[in-house]
Structure 1
Amino acid sequence: MNYSETLDYLFTRLPMFQRTGPAAYKNTLANTLLLDEYYAHPHRMFKTIHVAGTNGKGSVSHMLASVLQAAGYKTGLYTSPHLKDFRERIRIDGKMMGEKDVVAWVENYRTNNELWKIEPSFFELTVAMAFDYFAQQKVDVAVIEVGLGGRLDSTNIITPEVGIITNIGLDHTNLLGETLELIAREKAGIIKQNVPVVIGETQEATKAVFLRKAQEVNAPIYFADQEYKVAYATRGIDGLQNVQVDKNGEPFYRDMKLDLLGFYQHKNLPTVLKATELLNAQGFKIDEPNLRTGLQQVREKTGLQGRWQVIGANPMVVCDTGHNLDGIKEVVEQINSTPHKNLHFVFGTVGDKNPDKVLALLPKNASYYFVKANIERALDAEALKQHAADFGLVGDAYRSVNEGFEKAKVNAGENDLVFVGGSTFVVAEIL
């Protein structure tokens, strides 16, 4: 197979959550454990950091990877989903796994599987690929982002140096539970025996869940936002965020620069700072210049995209992959804080989630361009338009994401704001 044929095999022959949703989810680690055994337990060949949570886990994973790279560590990074290229999921020092490497790995798997007879999901196989590739390439450490949940996620066979749970929100409730407490129990499944864990945001509904689990397994637990806080932030003339961080109520980091421009990064930064502190306590050597460099160059060092990413000017064009209730809430807050005359909102979502709570949050004083991403799960644009009208959101439906996006740019004046979001898949298409 060539690379295109290999991707076709991965995307169409294997159950894939990104494409089909809950039908691809497997609530067992059986296949993951078999694959891990057949590949000789590659995850034991390097150190890991495990990152779970409802929102922010992608940003936190990329920020930590960038800081580790700045400190001189050969750093693997496993994240999901991808936006443009499958290989975004598996990176070493910011460089995607090579096309030839992907082809060779899948061909080897298919040959071996004639004997093994495993029927993995797309995600299960991708995790095995990442762990094996990181072992082959002899990384020093890998930052591993949880796919969905935690307890039964395919990544949850690792014993990390530090575990991280960014926050808990109501997402994937049909799989993880209908309440914050139930979802927290699933996410808490990544907390391991004697392994320190960082909780990014203290939430009354979930705090006791994490404390109880940590006590059960004797894991030191830290609530990052109880120690570190972003006191204030400004946008510098260099285009970066300039943040001031307090620790335990006292000034600690001054003039720290972030190349990630989302206001919600103020919630993620304390998590990264506490995790870095714990890594140093366990023998890593990450000094303050490494930390500052890594945080200032996240996009350059890791290739992160789609987080309040400015992709055009006059009019300003921004995209963001925030898609659940909490994510959209943060996005709307930043839209409201961004100077503009008129708002043009290119919006699409998936059909296997109830969009009502998200639609209720969206600004009513905007022109909407309702779109359907090119995946099976996407909600029909005309159906979305009609549903959105119940919430006072007015606009037109378009046959494709790009058609809606182009129309928004044509209609927008130079002092307007064009925002693209609602779904990772919508953002992927305009990038």
Structure 2
Amino acid sequence: MTYQQALDWLYSTQNFGIKLGLDGPKKLLRQLLANPTRNTQVVHLAGTNGKGSTSAIIDSLSRATGLRCGLFTSPHLVDFRERIRVNGEMIPEQVVLDTILEIKEIVTDWEHHPTFFELTLAIAMRHFKETECELIILETGMGGRLDATTAVPADVCVITPIALDHSEWLGDTLEKVAREKAGIICEKKPVISAKQERSAAIVIAEEAEEKRAPLTTVNGPLLGYNINLAGKHQAENAQLAIEAVTALGIPLDFDSVKYALSNISWPGRFETLSEQPQIIIDGAHNPHAANALVDTWKQHFGEQKATLVFGAVEEKDVDQVLEILCSISEEVHLTPLDSPRSLSTEAAITALPANTSHTSHENLESALKSLSDCKNPILIAGSLFLIGEAKALFGDGGFQRSTQ
């Protein structure tokens, strides 16, 4: 089996869809001998927005102190291996191949086949163990209480800002969503929470009290440092990350924090993809993230309008997201995603605010070709999957499509 064949097999498991529950992941981690050793600390992150950025900041801060860190995030933008990094380096293709071969032997007779996300987590945890990571940072895929990552006991739990998202899985009220996210909280282990809406904050406090877990709430941004990530909200993510690292007992000083924050990289979040024409990409895909994107846009461009290129997945709050993004856009170009979960352009048109100037395209590439002489800065947003397509168009490597 080649690496590409192994990936094809792994991607084929996306047909099993999303399956929430911990029995399968625990069994797979145990049989693959992928559980962390006792001297390895684990940080677990849940939330609706900012999980990836906060995970990356925790990783950068910890590495600046000399720790060997494993980072597990999702989804990837272009290359599957982005999801699994040790000290910033993507997992080698050969390691992915070897681990998949081993996993296939383990699960061949299982009545309930592991999902794509469960398998990816197992590959990551095995790699982190074999490379002797001292700290593992795990970003939940969806929710928290029954997310596969919760099968790994955590030393510190972090909850980023919570908003309505994945309502069909997590519930249709903020309280229900918060209950699922707060499900990552571990008995007597520190919890670090971002500032939340009151209803979500109450749920988190209740869950922390029930688990006798000390709760710290971060109510403001980090001041006095240059953060190499665009947007005022990243200063709040940075303060959240510092509290998490401190809760682990990792000593931080001014110089290490300064170095970590000035050298951090987290692609796809208000990232400049091209200068001529000017193209900005951002993975904003829900109202909370769209509002943060609008604020960041105004910080950089003032009152200058964008030419918006938009694509999304079916289940998102597209009408609200488009209403927010259209407030900074002179015209809108709609494109489907290269994904079976893509929102159709017809559905996107009906979600547009009234009297919005728009053009529909066959795909992202044709949309960008039509804008080669665009005078306004181009903003590509609506989905991290769309951002991955954009980066692939401007990069050298092949695009590895994912639906999870």
TM-score (norm 2): 0.91
Counterpart selection for 1:74 from 44, 68, 82? 68
1:4 aligns with 2:9: no
Equivalent positions of 1:338-357 (< 5 A) are 338-339=300-301, 341-357=304-320
Task: Identify the residue that residue 426 of structure 1 maps to in structure 2.
Answer: 386
Residue-by-residue CA offset, 1:256-286 (whole Å, 9 max, x unaligned): 1111112321321221122222223xxx233
- Which amino acid letter does the alignment assign opposite residue 332 of structure 2? Y
Kept in 2: contact 1:201–1:267 (CA 8 A): no
Kept in 1: contact 2:70–2:133 (CA 8 A): yes
Residue-by-residue CA offset, 1:183-203 (whole Å, 9 max, x unaligned): 000011111111000001132
Cα separation, 1, equivalents of 2:50 and 2:313 = 20
Cα separation, 2, equivalents of 1:108 and 1:168 = 37
| Aligned length in residues | 388
Residue-by-residue CA offset, 1:185-231 (whole Å, 9 max, x unaligned): 00111111110000011321111111111111110000011xx434x
Cα separation, 1, equivalents of 2:31 and 2:133 = 20
Cα separation, 1, equivalents of 2:255 and 2:112 = 47
Name the SS for the 2:308 alignment partner: strand
Residue-by-residue CA offset, 1:118-139 (whole Å, 9 max, x unaligned): 5011001111111111111111
1:114 aligns with 2:83: no
Name the SS for the 1:229 alignment partner: coil
Residue-by-residue CA offset, 1:350-377 (whole Å, 9 max, x unaligned): 1133422212222255211101110000
Task: Identify the residue that residue 245 of structure 2 maps to in structure 1.
Answer: 276
Task: Identify the residue that residue 261 of structure 1 maps to in structure 2.
Answer: 230
Q: Which has the higher contact order (CA 8 A, sep 6+)?
A: 2
Cα separation, 2, equivalents of 1:148 and 1:3 = 27
- Which amino acid letter does the alignment assign opposite residue 169 of structure 1? A
Task: Identify the residue that residue 26 of structure 1 maps to in structure 2.
Answer: 19
Q: CA RMSD in A?
A: 1.8
1:296 aligns with 2:259: no
Cα separation, 2, equivalents of 1:25 and 1:274 = 32
Cα separation, 1, equivalents of 2:274 and 2:104 = 43
Counterpart selection for 1:38 from 25, 31, 40? 31
Unaligned 5+ runs, structure 1: 17-23, 231-244, 246-253
Equivalent positions of 1:2-401 (< 5 A) are 2-15=2-15, 24-40=17-33, 42-45=35-38, 46-116=40-110, 118-225=112-219, 228-230=220-222, 245=223, 254=224, 256-280=225-249, 284-299=250-265, 304-339=266-301, 341-364=304-327, 365-384=329-348, 386-401=349-364
Unaligned 5+ runs, structure 2: 392-404
Cα separation, 2, equivalents of 1:366 and 1:40 = 54
Residues 151 and 405 of structure 1: CA distance in aligned 2, closer, same or farther (over 3 Å): same
Cα separation, 2, equivalents of 1:64 and 1:222 = 16
Q: Percent identity, aligned pairs only?
A: 30
Residues 341 and 222 of structure 1: CA distance in aligned 2, closer, same or farther (over 3 Å): closer
- Which amino acid letter does the alignment assign opposite residue 321 of structure 2? V
Cα separation, 1, equivalents of 2:261 and 2:352 = 41
Cα separation, 2, equivalents of 1:129 and 1:402 = 33
